C-alpha cells in the first residue's frame, strides 16, 4: 500500500455548488438476496454479474442462510443477510421474503432475474441518492467521508460498510459437478456511525479489510432493525 493517499472514488464531496436534489453518486444500489440452494437463483446471479459492470450501479450479493440444512451449511451464507432481508420486509410492512429478491436503493423490491423490474425500481428511487460520499485509501486503511444534507434537519441515517469479495465460484449439485459464480459477495455488515445531516468522516483500518477486494458504503435511513431509503452510496476497489 502506497504511503501517499490514493483517491479511489470521488462522489462530488468537493463540489460546493451541487444543486439540491441532484444525484450525487450511483443511480442505484442493488442488493441481491440469493442462495446456492435456490433453483431460481442462477439467472439472477448471472444478471447481477452484468449489473456489476455498470459504473452507475453498486451491485452486491448477500447469500441468505435459510436454505442451510443440519450439517450442510452453504459456504457463503450469513444469518446477518437473512436478518437484513427480514428487516426490509418488516420496514415495508409485508411478508415478501424469497430468493432471488433484489432490494433497490433500500426502498423497492424486484425479482432478482428480471432486469426490467430492477431498472424500473432504480428509476423510481434514484432521486433519494442525494448525499455525496467519498472513499479515499491511505497507508492505514480507508477514510469514508459523508457530505451534508441538502437542508438542515432534513434527514438522519446510519453509515453502513459492506466489504465484499469480487467473485466466488461455488460447486453445487450432486457430486458438485456444476459451479455458480457469485459477484461482489458481501462478507459483513458494519455500522460506521450515525449521520445527523452534518459532514462526517470515519477511518476503517486496513487490517479490517485485508480479506476483501472492495467495499461499498451506504448512507441509509432508519435502523438496523428497520432499514430505509439509501440517501447516498459509493464503492471502491481495494486490490
Report the domain count for the chain: 1
Tens digit of pLDDT for each residue in 101-144?
999 999 999 999 999 999 999 999 999 999 999 999 988 899 99
Helix/strand/coil percent split, the chain, to 5? 20, 40, 40
Domain range enclosing 103: 6-237
Question: Would residue 1 count as lying in a domain?
Answer: no
Domain assignment of residue 142, yes or no: yes
pLDDT at position 151 is: 73
In-domain check, residue 57: yes
Total residue length of the chain: 239
Would you state the pLDDT for residue 175? 52
Domain-embedded: residue 189? yes
188 within a domain of the structure (yes/no): yes
CB burial string 128-163: b at 16+ within 10 A, e below: bbbbbbbbbbeeebbebbbbbbbeeeebebbbbbbb
Task: Please report whether residue 175 resides in a domain.
Answer: yes
pLDDT at residue number 110: 98
48 located within any domain: yes
- Backbone φ, ψ for residue 211 (5° rounding): -95, 5
pTM of the model: 0.87
What pLDDT does 159 receive?
A: 97
For the chain, list residues with pLDDT below 50: 1-23
Q: Supply the pLDDT for residue 12.
A: 33
Amino acid at each position: 500500500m502506497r504511503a501517499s493517499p490514493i483517491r479511489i472514488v470521488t462522489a462530488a464531496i468537493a463540489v460546493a455548488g451541487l444543486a439540491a436534489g441532484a444525484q450525487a453518486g450511483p443511480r442505484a444500489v442493488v442488493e441481491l438476496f440469493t442462495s446456492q440452494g435456490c433453483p431460481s437463483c442462477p439467472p439472477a446471479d448471472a444478471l447481477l454479474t452484468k449489473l456489476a459492470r455498470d459504473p452507475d450501479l453498486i451491485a452486491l450479493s448477500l447469500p441468505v442462510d435459510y436454505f442451510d440444512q443440519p450439517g450442510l451449511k452453504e459456504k457463503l451464507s450469513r444469518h446477518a443477510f437473512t436478518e437484513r432481508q427480514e428487516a426490509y420486509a418488516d420496514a415495508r410492512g409485508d411478508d415478501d421474503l424469497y430468493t432471488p429478491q433484489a432490494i433497490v436503493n433500500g426502498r423497492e423490491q424486484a425479482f432478482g432475474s428480471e432486469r426490467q423490474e430492477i431498472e424500473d425500481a432504480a428509476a423510481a428511487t434514484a432521486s433519494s441518492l442525494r448525499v455525496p460520499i467519498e472513499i479515499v485509501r491511505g497507508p492505514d486503511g480507508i477514510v469514508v467521508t459523508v457530505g451534508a444534507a441538502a437542508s438542515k434537519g432534513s434527514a438522519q441515517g446510519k453509515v453502513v460498510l459492506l466489504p465484499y469479495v469480487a467473485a466466488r465460484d461455488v460447486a453445487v449439485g450432486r457430486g458438485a459437478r456444476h459451479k455458480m459464480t457469485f459477484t461482489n459477495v458481501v462478507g459483513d455488515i458494519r455500522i460506521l456511525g450515525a449521520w445527523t445531516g452534518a459532514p462526517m468522516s470515519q477511518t476503517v483500518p486496513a487490517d479490517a479489510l485485508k480479506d476483501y477486494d472492495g467495499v461499498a458504503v451506504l448512507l441509509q435511513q432508519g435502523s438496523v432493525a428497520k432499514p430505509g431509503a439509501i440517501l447516498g452510496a459509493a464503492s471502491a476497489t481495494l486490490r
